Amino acid sequence: MAEHEWMNEIRALVGKEYGRVYAWDKVNAPMIRQWCEVMGVDDARYLSAGTVTAPPAMLQVWCMEGFTQNNYPPGSTTENPYEALKMMEAHGLASVVAVNSELTFKRDVVEGERLYYATRLDTISPEKTTALGTGFFVTLVMTFFSQKPEGDEEVGQLLFRVFKFRAAQAAAPAEKPAMPAPAKRPPPGISDDTRFFWEGAKAGKLLIQRCKSCGTLRHPPGPVCSHCHSFDWDTVESSGRGTVYSFVVMHYPEVPPFDHPNPIALIELEEGTRLISQLVGVKPGEVRIGDAVQVEFNTFNNGELVLPQFRPVAVTPGASA
């Protein structure tokens, strides 16, 4: 297939050398120590007193721009070594993905050396089609040097290859239905241990698992009593009365079908067990620990799901706790 004519101008850049980018700082022990700390490197060669050797993998670090983009030390080039990518963008190759990064080293660099690098546009591949789309592999090579009075010395190279491409056409979006189906609540995972709880909710009952051997109540449900290790259990029906033991108000992510902000509480039932549930009928900013609440059973997902939820209730003055 004949190549697009506009590629001629871009291919003419192959082999171009771009100017130097200098390091802000000489190779120095504090940066080495901090880098080693972050990376979890404890090799004594990089951390001992005396002349410190820099870990080879730090090579790229020395000439980085810092927090401010394109803030390079005086004398550094203002040329853009990625100009070939910019030119491809102008022809609709808007996407980019990094595919290779290879560091090679000539020797260690040590404390006190001042480095710079120069970039060469090494190769541009023939047009390729991948699962991502159609475009070109572009390879840049950054060669790092140490400045020396007797002549600068090459210390290593970084090869960096990207795929610059026009994304494969996504399938045409299907026509939207007039009324999108409302999002469903994620259903609970139900096991043999928890089935009674959800079946109870469908019947309008808040059930708590009880050890048949020692009578200890437990929630969340499980196969064995943590008190006496008995596997025998039955259930008791809770009054549904409780208090807010703790709570969070979830603001993000805003996931349908939930309302936001979404108050979620750890409820302590008057029987003594606790469970997590959504609060209803309360403004998220007005939830307080210790609020009295009462269970109610609400139906979701077109009748498929019944959830116990809790609503704050006024406490009758003088009523015993």
Which residues of the shown chain bind Zn ion in the complex (CB under 5 A)? 211, 213-214, 216, 225, 227-228, 230
Q: Between 27 and 217, name the residue whose CB sits nearer to Zn ion.
A: 217
Q: Between 191 and 230, name the residue whose CB sits nearer to Zn ion.
A: 230
C-alpha–C-alpha distance, residues 203 and 185, integer Å: 19
Q: Between 212 and 283, name the residue whose CB sits nearer to Zn ion.
A: 212
Q: Least distance to Zn ion from the beta carbon of 231, Å?
A: 10
- Residues ≥6 apart with Cβ < 8 Å to 318: none
Specify the DSSP class assigned to residue 249: E
Q: Between 152 and 271, name the residue whose CB sits nearer to Zn ion.
A: 271
Q: Least distance to Zn ion from the beta carbon of 221, Å?
A: 14
Q: Least distance to Zn ion from the beta carbon of 217, Å?
A: 10
What is the SS3 assignment for 88? helix
Backbone φ and ψ for 277, nearest 5 degrees, come out as -155, 165
Q: Between 229 and 260, name the residue whose CB sits nearer to Zn ion.
A: 229
Q: Least distance to Zn ion from the beta carbon of 276, Å?
A: 23
Contact 25, 111 (CB under 8 A): no
Q: Which of 301, 299, 294, 296 is nearest to 270 (CA)?
A: 294
Q: Which of 261, 202, 265, 212 is nearest to 236 (CA)?
A: 212
Q: Least distance to Zn ion from the beta carbon of 269, Å?
A: 18
Q: Least distance to Zn ion from the beta carbon of 223, Å?
A: 12
Q: Which tokens sit at 67?
A: 């927090």
Contact 221, 235 (CB under 8 A): no
C-beta contacts of 276-282 below 8 A and 24+ residues apart: 277/307, 277/308, 277/309, 277/310, 278/307, 278/309, 278/310, 279/244, 279/247, 279/309, 279/310, 279/311, 279/312, 280/309, 280/310, 280/311, 281/311, 281/312, 282/311, 282/312
C-alpha–C-alpha distance, residues 105 and 144, integer Å: 9
Q: Least distance to Zn ion from the beta carbon of 222, Å?
A: 11
Q: Which tokens sit at 178?
A: 């007039």
Q: Least distance to Zn ion from the beta carbon of 225, Å?
A: 3
Q: Between 57 and 214, name the residue whose CB sits nearer to Zn ion.
A: 214
Q: Least distance to Zn ion from the beta carbon of 196, Å?
A: 17
Please, which residues bridge with residue 96 across strands? 164
Q: Between 52 and 211, name the residue whose CB sits nearer to Zn ion.
A: 211
Q: Between 12 and 228, name the residue whose CB sits nearer to Zn ion.
A: 228
Q: Between 59 and 211, name the residue whose CB sits nearer to Zn ion.
A: 211
229: left (phi over 0), alpha (psi -120 to 50) or beta: left
